[in-house]
Structure 1
Amino acid sequence: MLALLASFALAVQFLTRIPLNINITVSEQRLGQSVLFYPLVGLLIGTFLLILIRLLPEQSFAINAAIILTAWVLVTGGLHLDGLADCSDAWAGGLGDKERSLKIMKDPAAGPIAVIILVLILLLKWNAIQSLLLADTGLNFLLLAPFLGRVSILILMLSTPYVRENGLGSAMQKHLPQLAAKLIVLISLLLCVWFTTFYTLLSMLLLVGGIRYLSIQRIQGVTGDIYGASVEIVETAILISLAMIYG
C-alpha cells in the first residue's frame, strides 16, 4: 500500500505543481508504476477546478472561463502546453526528417508556429469552457477533460514505441505494468461512455489514433513532448465535443 501511495505521490509531483513535501525514492520501477495513476491525477485536477468554479460568482461567464483556464494551466505548470509547443515547432521545422524533428523538440526556444498553436488551443479551450458554463455542465467537463487527457498517455505508452533511448518516458514505458494499464484504460473508456456520450469517446480515440499515426510517420514513435501534446489536444477535443452536445 505504501508503495502505491508513493507512486501516486510521484505522479502528482510530476504532473502538477501541487506542493507535496514528501521525500520519495525514485526508481525506474516506481516511475513506471506512477503512470498508472495519471488518470487519477487528471480527476484530482478536475476536482480542484470544480471546487474553484463553485467559489466564483455567477456574474461573467467569460471571466469565469478565463479564471478556470488560468488555474488549469497554473496547476499543471504548463507542462503539456510545453510539449505541444515543441511538437508544433518540430512538425513545422522538421521538414519530414526524424533527427531534425527530434533535435527541434529538445530546443527550449519556442518559434512562431508554437506560439500560434498555443494561442489557438487556449482560445478554443476558453470558448468551450464558456459555452459549458452557460449550459451549467461543469461536473462533466471539469472531470472528463483532464481525466481522458491523461488516459491518452497510457494508450500511447501501451501502443507506440518510445524513440529516445535515455528519455524519462523510456523508463516509464519499459516498467509500466502492462496488464494493470490495459485494465485502467478499458475501465476509463467505459466510464467515459457511462458519464457522457459515445461521440465524445469516439472523438478521443480518433484523435489519439491520429496522433499515433503522425508520430510513427514522422519519428517512428513517440516522445514525452508527444505525450504532452496528446493531453492538450484530447482535453480540447473533449471540451469542444461536450460544448457541441450540451452548450
Structure 2
Amino acid sequence: MTRLRPFWIAGRFLSRLPFPDPGPTAPTEVGRSVPWYPLVGLLMGLPAALAALLLADTPSDLAAALVLILWVWSSGGLHLDGLADSADAWIGGLGSRERTLEIMKDPRSGPAAVTAIVLTLLLKWSALKTLVATGVLWPLLIVPLLARAQLPLLLLTTHYARTQGMASDQFHHLPRRMAWLSLVLSGLATLVVAGWIGAALILAVLTLYWFARRAMLARISGFTGDTAGALVELTETLALALCALVGVETFDS
C-alpha cells in the first residue's frame, strides 16, 4: 500500500476521481508522485470516454457539451485556473518578470483570462463534437495522458521560477529516472493505440512544449504552477484539434 501512495497523491492533486486520501504528505512524496501524472491523465479521460459512448445516439452538439463538462469536472478546473492566471500575467506583465509573477498570484481574473478560457473551451467543444459524431473515442484517453506527460517533462528540463510552492517540492524531489521512464511509457502507449497518428501527436505536443518553454524562460526564467497548468490546457486543445482535423478518418479507416 505504501508504494501506491505517490499514485494516490498524484490522483488527489490532479483530479476529482475517487482516489484514496493519502493523508499528510512529505515533500519527497510529492516529488515521487510526478511520474504517475500521465497514468492519472489516462484515468481522467475515462468518464468522458464512457459518456461519449453512452451518448452515441444523442445529437453531437449536446453530447460534446456533456462530455466537455465531464472533462472539466475530472480536473476540477485546476489547469484552467493556471491558463487564466498565465493569460492575465502575460498580457498585464508587460515583459517584466516581477510583474508577471505578481499578477499570477492575484486571484482576480481579467479580460485576458476570460478570453483564454472561453476560446479554449470553444475549441475543445468543437473538436469533441467531431470525435463524438464519428465515434472515435481513443483521443479522449490519449490526449489527457499526453497533456499530463508534459508536466514531468517540464520539471525535468526547466527550473522553477519561484522559491516556494508545491511545484517547488515537485521540482526538488523529482525522481528523474522514474520520470523519464513514465515519459517513455506514455509515448509507447500513444504509439500502440494511435499508430502514426500517435507519432504525429507526440511531435505536435513536443513542438508546443518547445515554444511554451522558450516563452517561460524568456519571461520568468522558469516555470510556475500556473504556467504548467496553462501548458496542460494548451496541449489538450492542440491535440484534440489535431485528432478532429486530420486523425479521425484516417485512423478509423
2:16 touches 2:76 (CA, 8 Å); kept in 1?
Answer: yes
- 1:180 correspondence with 2:178: yes
- Partners of 2:40 and 2:189 in 1: CA distance: 16
Corresponding position of 2:90: 91
Say which is worse superposed, 80-89 or 25-34, in terms of deviation.
25-34
Say which is worse superposed, 55-64 or 26-35, in terms of deviation.
55-64
2:47 touches 2:70 (CA, 8 Å); kept in 1?
Answer: no
- Partners of 1:187 and 1:177 in 2: CA distance: 16
Q: Percent identity among equivalent residues?
A: 41
- 1:35 correspondence with 2:38: no
Q: Kindly tell me: are residues 171 and 23 of structure 1, through their superposed partners in 2, closer, same or farther at Cα, counting changes over 3 Å?
A: closer
- 1:110 correspondence with 2:109: yes
2:8 touches 2:20 (CA, 8 Å); kept in 1?
Answer: no
- Partners of 1:213 and 1:3 in 2: CA distance: 38
The 5-angstrom pairing of residues 199-238 of structure 1 reads 199-238=200-239
How far the C-alpha of 1:200 sits from its partner, in A, is 1.3
- Partners of 1:148 and 1:57 in 2: CA distance: 25
- Partners of 1:177 and 1:5 in 2: CA distance: 15
TM-score, normalised by the number of residues in structure 2: 0.93
Query: Once the two structures are superposed, what CA deviation does each residue of 1:116-153 show, in whole Å capped at 9, x if it has no partner?
Result: 11100000000001111122111x21111111110001
2:31 touches 2:172 (CA, 8 Å); kept in 1?
Answer: yes
The 5-angstrom pairing of residues 41-56 of structure 1 reads 41-56=40-55
5+ residue gaps, structure 2 = none
Counterpart selection for 1:162 from 155, 160, 163: 160
How far the C-alpha of 1:15 sits from its partner, in A, is 0.8
- Partners of 1:214 and 1:199 in 2: CA distance: 23
1:144 touches 1:238 (CA, 8 Å); kept in 2?
Answer: no
SS at 2:148 equivalent: helix
2:56 touches 2:133 (CA, 8 Å); kept in 1?
Answer: no
Count of residue pairs the alignment pairs up: 245
2:65 touches 2:125 (CA, 8 Å); kept in 1?
Answer: yes
How far the C-alpha of 1:4 sits from its partner, in A, is 2.5
1:80 touches 1:228 (CA, 8 Å); kept in 2?
Answer: yes
5+ residue gaps, structure 1 = none
- Partners of 2:225 and 2:60 in 1: CA distance: 34
Say which is worse superposed, 112-121 or 45-54, in terms of deviation.
45-54
Q: Kindly tell me: are residues 127 and 24 of structure 1, through their superposed partners in 2, closer, same or farther at Cα, counting changes over 3 Å?
A: same
How far the C-alpha of 1:20 sits from its partner, in A, is 4.1
SS at 2:210 equivalent: helix
TM-score, normalised by the number of residues in structure 1: 0.95
- Partners of 1:215 and 1:77 in 2: CA distance: 24
Alignment RMSD? 1.3
- Partners of 2:191 and 2:14 in 1: CA distance: 25
Question: Counterpart amino acid of 1:47?
Answer: L
- Partners of 2:22 and 2:200 in 1: CA distance: 42
Query: Once the two structures are superposed, what CA deviation does each residue of 1:169-228 show, in whole Å capped at 9, x if it has no partner?
Result: 011111110011011112212332332222211111000111100000000000000110
